[in-house]
Amino acid sequence: MTAPLLFRQTVRDDWIDYNGHLSEAYYVLVFGFATDALRDAAGLDAAYRERTGGSLYTVEAHVRCLREVAHGSELTAARPCWAWTAGNCGCCTRCSWARRPASR
């Protein structure tokens, strides 16, 4: 089963660190956007929260930077869920990117 694409964003200027790459904090921001989209797609949207008082939150997160993400790259995030039970959801966000060609 293919994970749904939950987030797409071009890396913004203010997300770039002093080395010209995506700053560490913005990986977590992107994963947070993917969590928000997953929550809404699963029906845990504003109406659900208002009706039940329940919500979704991240208990634990790990970030592995396997390659540098440069300015202007197109980020996408998908979040497959491998376990879903009453009150619990196990997910893994996969973030990938395509580097935008340098402008001439």
Residue 104 lies in a domain: no
pLDDT (tens digit per residue) in 59-82: 777 777 777 888 888 888 776 555
H or E segment and range at residue 77: strand 74-78
Tell me the average pLDDT of the chain: 75
Residue 31 lies in a domain: yes
Selection from 77, 79, 78 nearest residue 26 by Cα:
77
Domain that holds residue 88: 5-98
Residues 19-33: what's their mean pLDDT? 86
Residue 82 lies in a domain: yes
Rg (CA), the chain: 16
Count of domains for the chain = 1
Instruction: Specify the higher pLDDT residue, 66 or 46.
Output: 46
Selection from 20, 23, 14, 7 nearest residue 79 by Cα:
7
Please state the pTM of the whole predicted model. Answer: 0.67
Residue 10 lies in a domain: yes
Q: 79 CB contacts (<8 Å, ≥6 apart)?
A: 3, 4, 6, 34, 35, 37, 38, 91, 92, 93, 94
What CATH number did the domain enclosing 62 receive? 3.10.129.10
Res 47: pLDDT: 92
